[in-house]
Structure 1
Amino acid sequence: MGRRIALLLLTSCLVLTGTGAAQARPFASIRVLTFNMHTGIGEDGRLDLARTAAAIRDSGADVVGLQEVDVHWAARSEFRDQAAELAALLGMRVFFAPIYDLPPLTEGAPARRYGVAVLSRFPILHTENHLITRLSTQDPEPVPLPMPGFAEAVVLARGVPVHVYVTHLDFRPDPAVRAAQVADTVRILAGDRRGARQVLLGDFNAEPAAPELTPLFAAVRDTWSGADPGLTYPAGTPVKRIDYVTATPNLRARDRAVIDTGASDHRAVRVTLRI
């Protein structure tokens, strides 16, 4: 609560000093991208983080939500800090929110971490790694428990605070854990002050008509529309739409696109939002 009050005070100060929302141009826009980057491994099975960075750069996105990000996690990604490396390659700010934070395999090495991330060309005013229900993939006998890995970053986008969330919902066929995650997500979104601009980016691991997503789409709107089904998975020949850009009604969507980057087993989704 104290951090949210501090954020409100900071926003008020920006307006009073003429450097914040008061100077925002009418109908300014931001371009957002959601991308399950598959730890930098493309459908060709090749690890190439430079290719991942190039795909993000070519999208022209101002704010990016990434899923399946390794930070010193495993040999598959050469135990590199993918969040920091992508931020450096792109000249963007980064907030990494681990789902798992485990001891290293060798003494003295960094902790092994895996999760989601926000990249932003705009200043980041506040970050939080929220808990939602998860069924661990690291526990041999998992039970649903609150775990981290639901990222929130408040970015100052063209003078206007925008709450950007990134999530990766459960992949299992049984929707029970996803339904619990949706309930947690709706509760967290409702905790922000009334009228906040909110963008939720992520791999939901469910198609739009899935019943467990219905409460979520009542809180934030699915921005995809039109005749194009917007299929995103698998990347080579997609048959499902499971990757989403959603937003509150005070952010209006246009210029939607699904992007086949070759850098992942998912396609990326880019949407321009009018502030």
Structure 2
Amino acid sequence: MTEIEEARVFGPGMRWLAGAMTVACAVLVGPSAPDALVGGSRPAGAVREVVPHRVMTWNLCNPCEQSNAHRAAEIAAYAPQVIGMQEACAGDVARIRNELARRYGLVYHVAYGSVLQDWGRCGGVPWNPDGYGQALLSAAPMTDRVTVEYPDGGSEDRGYMAVTTSVGGRPVRVFNTHLAERRQESVRADQVGVLAAEVARHDRAIVLGDFNAVPDAPELAPMWALATDTDSWCHPSPADGCRTTTDWHSKFDYVFLRGITALEHHVQPSAYSDHHLLETDLDLGQGVAAAPGTRRKR
């Protein structure tokens, strides 16, 4: 984490205090307490490099009190170039990032897009709670970071973040968002309008996130007008070709692509979240959808 990123998460003049208190609270109340028991050297056969054309989105589930060592292992199995996380506590993201480097040799830069400072979900201390929202990990440096809070978050403040980074050796604008909860369709419609207006400014973009809406939901229409889903069989109408991404058998998680070709994607249920991991391999040299059945490049 850079000094700038730390300052944005923890607040001016509070980093030394937050660091000390986080260590103590991790044992007592933090959602990552089990990680204190995880140690040892990097396992045999550990991943040693990322797949440069692979991206992933994953809602971590919060509060779920899962081990960040287990979360890191799930990510390391795919070793994506870029990972977008939702329902992420800044402290958990830092621990996941450290585990990926220490145990698997996967070194990532981190950018936070937190829109809440939350004691109940993320721990910390009442006067300096941990940041909660979205985060991006990228094997390449990230520039031009923006964090936007939607004018209406619904039952909880929500927003999006965006960075410019490298995927497949080419620069691309990457967005990460989490829309309003279920049964808040009108709120999500306004949020998609804000997000789509920004995505439309870029000829090449990747939009990761939990949209809390099925593919044929009317509020997603502006996104479908700009981009395609990484799954070439998935369309808003009919939507029966879309693979589900949650434990309740709905597709809420998306990798929307604008000006980029999807090679193949994979949806993997996880024991550590109520959302599945969604990862995809991309070809940034073209701007048309790949034909169904394109083989994965590993």
TM-score range, shorter chain: 0.7 to 0.9
After TM superposition, what 4+ stretches of structure 1 lie above 4 angstroms from structure 2? 102-107
Give the structure-1-normalised TM-score. Answer: 0.73
Q: Which residue of 2 aligns with 1:199?
A: 206
Query: 1:129 touches 1:148 (CA, 8 Å); kept in 2?
Result: no
Matching residue of 1:24: none
Q: CA offsets per residue over residues 41-96 of structure 1, 9 Å max, x none?
A: 3xxxx52111111111102211111000013xxxxxxxxx0121122222211111
Partner of 2:160: 150
Residue 263 of structure 1 corresponds to: 272
Displacement of 1:29: 6.2
In the alignment, is residue 124 of structure 1 matched against residue 142 of structure 2?
A: yes
| Larger RCO (CA under 8 A, 6+ residues apart) | 1
Q: Does 1:100 align with 2:107?
A: no
1:115 paired to 2:128: no
For 1:88, the equivalent position in structure 2 comes to 98
- Pick aligned residue for 1:211 from 215, 218, 223: 218
Equivalence for 2:28: none
Query: CA distance change for structure 1 residues 106 and 66 in 2, over 3 Å: closer, same or farther?
Result: closer
Counterpart among 60, 65, 74 of residue 37 in structure 1:
60
Q: Which of these residues, 216, 220, 226, is aligned with residue 227 of structure 2?
A: 220
Aligned residue number for residue 242 of structure 2: 229
Percent identity over paired residues: 29
Partner of 1:134: 152
Cα displacement (A) at 1:129: 0.5
- 2:211 and 2:254 in contact (8 A); partners too: yes
Q: Tell whether the 8 Å contact from 1:29 to 1:274 is kept in structure 2 after alignment.
A: no
Residue 269 of structure 2 aligns to which amino acid in structure 1? D
Deviation at 1:101, TM superposition (A): 2.5
Number of aligned residues = 219
Distance 1:206 1:172 in 2: 7
Q: Does structure 1 residue 52 correspond to structure 2 residue 64?
A: no
Any conservation in 2 of the 1:186–1:219 contact (CA below 8 Å)? Answer: yes
- Residues 224-273 of structure 1 show CA distances to partners (whole Å, capped at 9, x for unaligned) of 13386311111xxx42111111110x210012110112121110111111
Query: Would you say the 8 A contact 1:123–1:157 is kept in 2?
Result: no
State the AA in 1 paired with 2:246: Y
- Does 2:176 correspond to 1:160? no
Query: Which residue of 244, 248, 253 maps to 2:262?
Result: 253
* Residue correspondence of structure 1 range 169-184 to structure 2 within 5 A: 169-184=179-194
| Alpha-carbon separation, structure 2, partners of 1:33 and 1:106 | 31
Single out whichever of 255-264 and 124-133 deviates more from structure 2.
Answer: 124-133
How many Å apart are 1:172 and its aligned residue?
A: 3.0
- Rounded Cα–Cα distance in structure 1 between residues aligned with 2:117 and 2:198: 22
Q: Tell whether the 8 Å contact from 2:85 to 2:134 is kept in structure 1 after alignment.
A: yes
Amino acid at match of 2:192: V
Q: TM-score of the superposition, structure 2-length normalised?
A: 0.67
Q: 2:85 aligns with which of 66, 75, 94?
A: 66
Change (3 A) 1:239 1:177: same
RMSD: 2.4
Question: Unmatched 5+ residue regions in structure 2?
Answer: 1-50, 101-106, 234-239, 285-298
In the alignment, the residues of structure 2 paired with residue 260 and residue 211 of structure 1 have an alpha-carbon distance, to the nearest angstrom, of 27
Tell me, which stretches of 5 or more residues in structure 1 are unaligned?
A: 1-27, 72-80, 139-146
Question: 2:220 and 2:254 mapped to 1: Cα distance?
Answer: 11
